[in-house]
Structure 1
Amino acid sequence: MLDGFVPWPSEFAERYRRAGYWKGVSLRQLLTDRAGRHPDKIAAVDATRRVTYAELAEEADRVASGLLDLGVSSRDRVVVHLPNRIDFLTTVLALFGIGAIPVMALPGHRRDEILHLARSSDAVAYVGPDRFQGFDFRQLAREVRRDAPGMKHVVIAGEADGFTPLAELAGSAARELPPVDSSEVALLLLSGGTTGVPKLIPRTHDDYAYNISACARVVDFDDSGVYLAANPVPHNAALGCPGALGAVLLGGKAVLAANPSPDHVFPLIEQEGVTLTTLVPALALLWAEAARSTPVDMSRVTIQVGSSKFGPAAAARVSESLGCRLMNVYGIGEGLITHTRRDDPPEVVFGTEGRPVCPDDEIRIVDTEDNDVAPGETGELLTRGPYTIRGYFAAPDHNRRSFTADGFYRTGDLARMTEDGNVVIEGRLKDIIHHLGEKVSAEEVEGHVLTHPLVRDTAVVGVPDDELDERLCVFVVLTADADTERTPVTLRTIREHIRGRGLASYKLPDELIVVSDLPRTPVGKIDKKALKAARP
Structure 2
Amino acid sequence: MLQGFVPFPEDFAARYRAQGYWRDQSLAQEFAAVFERFAERTALIDGERRYTYAELDAVSDNLALNLLDLGLQPLDRVVPLLPNVAEFVVLYFALQKLGCIPIAALVTHRHAELNQFVQLSQARCVVYPTAVREQGGEFRFAPIVERVQAEHACLQLRLVLGEAGPGEHSLTALIAQPAKRPVADLRKVRIEPTDPCIFQLSGGTTGIPKLIPRTNNDYAYNSKVAAEVAGVDAESVLLLVLPIAHNLPLACPGIQGFLFNGATVVLHANTKPAEMFQLIAQHGVTHIKVVPALLIRLINDPAIAEAQLDSVKQIQSGGQRMQPEVRIRTRQLFRNAFVQENFGMSEGLLMFVRQGDPEEVLLETCGRPVCADDELKLIDDDGREVPDGEVGELACRGPYTLRGYFGVPEYNARQFTADGFYRSGDLMRKHPSGNYVVEGRKKDLINRGGEKISAEEVENLILMHPAVQNVACVPMPDAALGEKMCAFVVPRAGTTLTLPELVAFLQTQEIARFKLPERLELLPDFPVSTFGKVSKKALGERIAAQLSEEAQAKALAA
TM-score interval, smaller chain: 0.7 to 0.9
Pick which of 262-271 and 423-432 moved more.
Answer: 423-432
SS of 2:83's equivalent in the other structure is coil
Q: Residue in 1 aligned with 2:79? A: 79
> Does 2:544 correspond to 1:474?
yes
How many angstroms apart in 1 are the aligned matches of 2:439 and 2:321?
Answer: 8
Is structure 2 residue 148 aligned with structure 1 residue 144? yes
- Is the CA contact 1:218–1:357 (under 8 Å) kept in the aligned structure 2? yes
Q: Aligned partners of 1:157 and 1:142: how far apart in 2?
A: 16
Which is further off, 172-181 or 382-391? 172-181
Aligned match of 1:206:
217
Residue matched to 2:344? 331
TM-score (norm 2): 0.79
1:34-433 superposed matches below 5 A = 34-133=34-133, 134-162=138-166, 163-170=168-175, 171=177, 172-173=179-180, 174-176=182-184, 177=186, 178-193=189-204, 196-290=207-301, 294-301=305-312, 302-323=314-335, 324-430=337-443
TM-score by length of 1: 0.82
Question: How many pairs align?
Answer: 470
Aligned residues of 1:460 and 1:475 also touching (Cα < 8 A): no
- Encode CA deviations 1:430-456: one digit per residue, 9 max, x unaligned: 4699xxxxxxxx99x95xxx8xxxx54
Q: 2:552 aligns with which of 490, 506, 510?
A: 490
Deviation at 1:204, TM superposition (A): 0.6
Say whether residues 1:459 and 2:472 are aligned partners: no
State the distance in 2 between where 1:308 and 1:247 align. 23
**Alpha-carbon distance between aligned partners in 2 of 1:475 and 1:256, rounded to the nearest angstrom:** 41
**What secondary structure does 1:104 align onto?**
coil
Alpha-carbon shift at residue 249 of structure 1 (Å): 3.1
Task: Tell me, yes or no, if the aligned pair for 2:205 and 2:444 is still in contact at 8 Å.
Answer: no
TM-aligned CA deviation for residue 466 of structure 1 = 4.7
Q: Distance in 1 between matches of 2:237 and 2:356?
A: 21
Q: Alpha-carbon deviation of 1:404?
A: 0.7
Q: Unaligned regions of 5+ residues in structure 1, if any?
A: 434-441, 479-487, 495-536
List per-residue Cα deviations over 1:67-124 (Å, max 9, x = no partner). Answer: 1111110111111111111110111111110111111111110011011101100001
Report if aligned partners of 1:16, 1:386 keep a CA contact under 8 Å in 2: yes
Equivalent residue, structure 1, for 2:32: 32
Q: Which runs of 5+ in 2 are unaligned?
A: 447-473, 489-524, 529-534
Q: Percent identity?
A: 38
In 1: Cα distance, 2:545 partner to 2:317 partner: 22
Tell me, in whole angstroms, the C-alpha distance in 1 between the residues paired with 2:122 and 2:401: 23
Q: Is the 8 A contact 1:83 1:232 kept in 2?
A: yes
**Contact kept in structure 2, 1:460 and 1:473, CA below 8 Å:** no
CA RMSD of aligned residues (A): 2.7
Query: By how many angstroms is 1:30 displaced?
Result: 2.5
The one-letter amino acid of 1:356's match is P
Q: Say which SS state the counterpart of residue 490 (structure 1) adopts.
A: helix
CA contact (8 A) 2:378 2:392 kept: yes
Q: Quickly say closer, same or farther: Cα 1:331–1:264, change in 2 above 3 A.
A: same
Q: Say which SS state the counterpart of residue 472 (structure 1) adopts.
A: helix
